[in-house]
């Protein structure tokens, strides 16, 4: 295990799996991410003073912290939502092999 200070996990949601897959492919092609995991689900939230419940998919994005600004910009460019959820969480620790792989495929 190694400190994961250079790695982050970014969360975002999409209205459907196909939109998420399209976005994941773009992010991968741009070497902004190492991996995107797409998980089906449902979101309950407040939007314009109304409680909403929608089917959504959660995308878990594995990348390096140094790529966050470019990743956020690209997500905003390609995302169908006016205000997409983009939340980055620090990776406290990760296996050295995994951490090395993330760095390798994202161009470090």
* pLDDT reading at 70 higher than 70: yes
**Residue whose entry in the numeric block shows the structure tokens 């400190």:** 3
The four Cα atoms 11, 17, 19, 25 give a dihedral, to 10 degrees, of 70
Q: Tell me what pLDDT residue 102 has.
A: 95
Q: How confident is the model at residue 7 (pLDDT cuts 50, 70, 90)?
A: very high
* pLDDT reading at 72 higher than 60: yes
**Which domains occur in the chain, in start order?**
2-105 (3.30.70.120)
Q: What is the mean pLDDT of residues 65-76?
A: 98
Residue 30 buriedness (CB in 10 A; 0-12 / 13-18 / 19+): middle
Instruction: Give the closest residue to 33 by CA, choosing from 4, 74, 89, 90.
Output: 74
Q: How confident is the model at residue 35 (pLDDT cuts 50, 70, 90)?
A: very high
Q: Tell me what pLDDT residue 51 has.
A: 96
Q: What is the mean pLDDT of residues 34-53?
A: 95
Distance (Å, rounded) from C-alpha 30 to C-alpha 43? 28
Q: How confident is the model at residue 11 (pLDDT cuts 50, 70, 90)?
A: very high
Q: Tell me what pLDDT residue 2 has.
A: 58
């Amino acid at each position: 295990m190694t400190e994961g200070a250079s790695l982050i996990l970014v969360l975002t949601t999409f209205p459907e799996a196909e939109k998420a897959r399209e976005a994941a492919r773009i992010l991968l092609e741009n070497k902004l991410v190492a991996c995107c995991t797409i998980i089906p689900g449902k979101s309950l939230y407040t939007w314009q003073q109304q409680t909403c419940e929608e089917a959504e998919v959660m995308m878990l994005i594995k990348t390096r912290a140094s790529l966050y600004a470019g990743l956020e910009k690209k997500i905003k460019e390609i995302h169908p939502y006016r205000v997409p959820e983009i939340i980055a969480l620090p990776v406290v620790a990760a296996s050295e092999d995994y951490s090395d792989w993330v760095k390798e495929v994202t161009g470090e």
